[in-house]
Amino acid sequence: MRRQMKTGVVMLTLMALLVTALPAVAATEKADAEEGKPIRMVLADWGGVSLNLLGEEKYFEVWEAMTYSEQMAQTYSEKAAFNDKNRELKLAKANIDSYDLDNERRLAYTVSDGSAMKVYLHDLQSGENKVISQTNTTKRHVQVCGGRIAWVDSGSGSGRGTIIIYELEGGSSRTITLQESKNVELALTEKYLAYFNGESGKSGVSVYDLMAGTTLTASSSKTPKASLTMWGERLAWAEGSGATLPAGSLADYVYGYAVPNSTLNEIWAYDMATEKLTQLTDNNYNDIQPWVWDKYVTWAQFDAQGTSDILAMDLDDGTIYELPIDPLVLVSPCISAAAQSFIDLKDNQTDTYLLIVKAPTPALPALPGDELPDDQTDPSKEEQPAKEPANSYQSPQFAAAADQAITRLKGLGVMQGYPDGSFGEEKTLTRAEISKIAVIAAGLEANAQNEPGQASAFTDVAAGHWAHGWITVAAGQGFIKGDGDGQFRPDDTLTQAEALTVLLRVLGYDDELPGAWPHDYVSKAAQLGVLNNVIFLADSPINRAETAVITAAILEQGKVE
């Protein structure tokens, strides 16, 4: 669908959350009743948990995100965001009402058990399944984050109820009194608890500071709201006059806390850092089920015919992306560092879809000077938007690997720091700098230092350029190439794929590797284990820390004979 958005917002037909292009969507289908029907999925940085409906009962399935090496071991036609380690939790199937997941692999959920309703915490690593609370009151919208669990408790029948905030260490708890509990939803981070407040289904949005014990108002409007979500200091929710949605038990499960009885909702957001309330959408479509992660918010948008798209917005610049999927009934979107997920609801059937947001794709720029298919042009000749270093996406394992790599490369003289003693881990790398690193790693430093001060083969590399010798030797050895027009562009930054290509050529690998660039070099690197400690975003500019980790791993390999 192509839809008119708020004035000034750019509509794209490709969703790009962490990379500039994404591979095709890979579906995981639960097609028959014996296996159950997925009704919701929550993602974390390590993977996700789906909630599936089997008859009148529900159960969980755990999905592990694939490592980069695992992804590269597949062909692109087989690629999926999650591997085949997904498993059904060995928990008694029960009437699960709500659940949440954190990055510590902890699953919090509420169940109805006879006359009692319980809050559980399940450790996905140890298998411990612990009861946190067991009373005769209704417990809904459980959240887990930062060593805390929070849920909405209906109280003793007054209808007012409370929010319970439970500390996992020590077992203490505190409460927030509510005017009513029926339509309250929660969103929990390490620092804040956000919740709907009000009565008769008309709620504002409050935010409780878990450290200071104070409460502020994010929104004072008393219109119906649903699907409260928060990440860091950013909140989002659907707000409006309501939403007419398909009826039926399966649809009710999938839509969750949808506001009934009308036609329109819009997406709103609040930024705790700036204390700014913003209406993100303003259109004639029904926008529901937002989910916030990092600087992105994703949601489902319905038209008058009942079909929908999954959209996402970059909250920093307001750009809206549309998921490249044929119009279906797409609902319950969720995003994390691992993937984008959503549910396809069709008749009485649901399927879970997963879309990779970290893996490289065939639609990446070629290394300048490399041969390109006839139907492509060298994107280096087009104006490219500035990109941030990718190091902010790296894992804790990467930090340890970077420290070791930097120490080793300094000792070998392959990479050095700056006069002030810093290494400049976050600084991006230029083509001239990778030429020097490649030449030293290849043991050809003397060749570069002995280069005569004569004109370079490249028109933009003068004889007096600091990298003249390094570039001459690197280009002569075939480690790196010019742009085909007589220029080298020594000060241009490199992408991760380009730097990896140069360094693998130092080992003796060349463009005869099977497959199209950059997947030929990336596949070889994954096979060699060069990328084990790196979250690899092929089209992102590489920085010095990432270069050090990859270079150190390259030096562990034997040169190709």
Q: What is the 3-state secondary structure (H, E, C) of 390-438?
A: HHHHCCHHHHHHHHHHHHHHHHHCCCCCCCCCCCCCCCECEHHHHHHHH
Token pair of 56, please? 């009148």
Instruction: Single out the residue of 85, 84, 88 nearest to residue 54, CA to CA.
Output: 88
Tens digits of residue pLDDT in 393-419: 465 677 888 889 999 998 888 998 888
Element (H, E) at 279: strand 276-279
**Percentage of the residues of the chain whose pLDDT score is greater than 70:** 76
Single-letter amino acid code for the residue at 21: A
Distance in angstroms (rounded) separating the CA atoms of residues 302 and 37: 22
Identify whether the C-beta of residue 34 lies closer than 8 Å to the C-beta of residue 344: no
Alpha-carbon distance of 325 to 234, in angstroms, equals 27
Helix (H) or strand (E) holding 310: strand 308-314
351 CB-contact burial (10 Å; exposed 0-12 / middle 13-18 / buried 19+)? middle
pLDDT computed for residue 437 by the predictor: 94
Predicted pLDDT of residue 41: 92
| Cα pseudo-dihedral 476, 477, 482, 488, rounded to 10 | -70
User: What SS3 class is residue 234?
Assistant: strand
Helix (H) or strand (E) holding 447: helix 445-449
pLDDT of residue 349: 82
What Å distances lie between residue 426 and 83, 125, 394, 498, CA to CA? 31, 33, 12, 17
Count the Cβ atoms, other than its own, within 10 Å of residue 557: 17
| CA quadruple 364, 370, 372, 377: dihedral sign | positive
- Note the pLDDT of residue 30: 34
Extract the residue ranges of the chain whose pLDDT is less than 70: 1-35, 66-85, 114, 156-159, 200-202, 241-249, 256-263, 324, 326-327, 338, 356-396, 451-455, 558-561
3-class SS string, 41-79: EEEECCEEEEEEEECCEEEEEEEEECCHHHHHCCCCCCC
Task: Tell me the angle at which helices 396-412 and 544-555 cross, rounded to the nearest 10 degrees.
Answer: 70
DSSP 356: E
**Which residue from 42, 2, 554, 36 is spatially nearest to 291, judged by alpha carbons?**
42
Q: How far is CA 547 from CA 402, 423, 503, in A?
A: 9, 12, 9
The pTM (predicted TM-score) of the whole model is 0.62
In sequence order, the 6+-apart residues with CB closer than 8 A to the CB of 52 are 30, 35, 36, 37, 38, 39, 58, 59, 60, 61
- Residue 71 CB: number of other CB atoms within 10 A? 23
The Cα–Cα gap between 531 and 534 comes to: 5
CA distances from 79 to 215, 230, 359, 360, 364 (A): 46, 30, 9, 11, 17
Task: Report the sign of the C-alpha dihedral through residues 362, 298, 215, 98, in that order.
Answer: negative
pLDDT of residue 75: 47
